């Protein structure tokens, strides 16, 4: 409930500019916190949490009794500025199809793919997603900006990629590598 409220507050303060990116995580991340990794159970809890967050954002009183969460007659304020809710983009490793189906059910997809994907694999992912999505939802792609060319960006656009991030700062890089990326600034295209 706290994350739903905090994100709604941030969405109000930013005049509707919040996007929520979600993903199941990986076994190693659960191990770090001593949490059990059961992919099916984690997946069910994740789906239930997204449903509950979305209901909280409605502004209506919520009663919900699921496998993981129980809520009785709770209203959450403030509601997000965006309607019907803050966009939810779902991350997942391709060619795993379940995250793609989740992304189509919500508001968009953040596929985890090769650093600079090309070819049939990316085409297959976008085609599968577009077959499932009710509307032309967003596809957010993160690529390695050092190898990305203007021609490749045009190809991503033609495929239907709506958001492109390059060279995102990473905890897996050194401080100096991250500072170099910041100093380099956005790509010229």
**Strand 62-65 to 70-74 pairing:** antiparallel
The three-class DSSP label of residue 22 is strand
pLDDT at 64 (0 to 100): 97
**pTM, entire model:** 0.83
Contact 62, 69 (CB under 8 A): no
Token pair for 45: 């809890």
Contact 56, 1 (CB under 8 A): yes
11 pLDDT band (50/70/90 cuts)? very high
Q: Rounded to 5 degrees, what are φ and ψ at 119?
A: 80, -160
Q: Is the dihedral of CA 70, 23, 107, 96 positive or negative?
A: negative
Cα(93)–Cα(23) distance, rounded to whole angstroms? 10
Cα(181)–Cα(165) distance, rounded to whole angstroms? 13
Which percentage of the chain shows pLDDT scores above 70?
90
Cα(189)–Cα(154) distance, rounded to whole angstroms? 10
User: How many of the other CB atoms lie within 10 Å of CB of 187?
Assistant: 14
Residues 6 or more apart in contact with residue 33 via CB below 8 angstroms: none
What's the mean pLDDT in 41-51? Answer: 96
Give residue-wise pLDDT tens across range 52-104: 999 999 999 999 999 999 999 999 999 999 999 999 999 988 889 999 999 99
Which percentage of the chain shows pLDDT scores above 90?
51
- The domains found in the chain, sorted by start residue, are 1-86 (no CATH), 88-189 (3.40.50)
Most confident stretch, 85-99, 109-123, 138-152? 85-99
- By C-alpha distance, which of 50, 32, 47, 42 is closest to 171? 32
pLDDT at 184 (0 to 100): 79
Give residue-wise pLDDT tens across range 148-178: 778 888 888 888 888 887 766 666 778 888 7
**Residue whose token pair is 């199809």:** 97
């Amino acid at each position: 409930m706290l994350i739903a409220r905090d994100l709604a507050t941030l969405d109000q303060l930013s005049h509707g500019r919040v996007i929520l990116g979600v993903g199941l995580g990986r076994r190693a991340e659960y191990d770090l916190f001593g949490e059990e990794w059961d992919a099916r159970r984690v997946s069910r809890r994740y789906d239930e949490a997204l449903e509950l967050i979305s209901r909280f954002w409605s502004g209506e009183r919520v009663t919900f009794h699921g496998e993981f969460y129980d809520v009785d007659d709770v209203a959450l304020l403030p509601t997000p500025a965006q309607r019907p809710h803050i966009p939810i983009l779902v991350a997942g490793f391709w060619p795993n199809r379940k995250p793609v189906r989740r992304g189509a059910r919500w508001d968009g997809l953040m596929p985890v793919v090769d650093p600079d994907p090309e070819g049939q694999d990316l085409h297959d992912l976008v085609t599968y997603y577009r077959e499932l999505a009710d509307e032309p939802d967003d596809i957010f792609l993160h690529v390695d900006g050092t190898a990305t060319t203007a021609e490749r960006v045009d190809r991503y656009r033609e495929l239907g990629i709506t958001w492109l991030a390059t060279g995102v700062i990473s905890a897996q890089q050194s401080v100096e590598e991250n500072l170099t990326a910041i100093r380099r600034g956005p790509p010229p295209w």
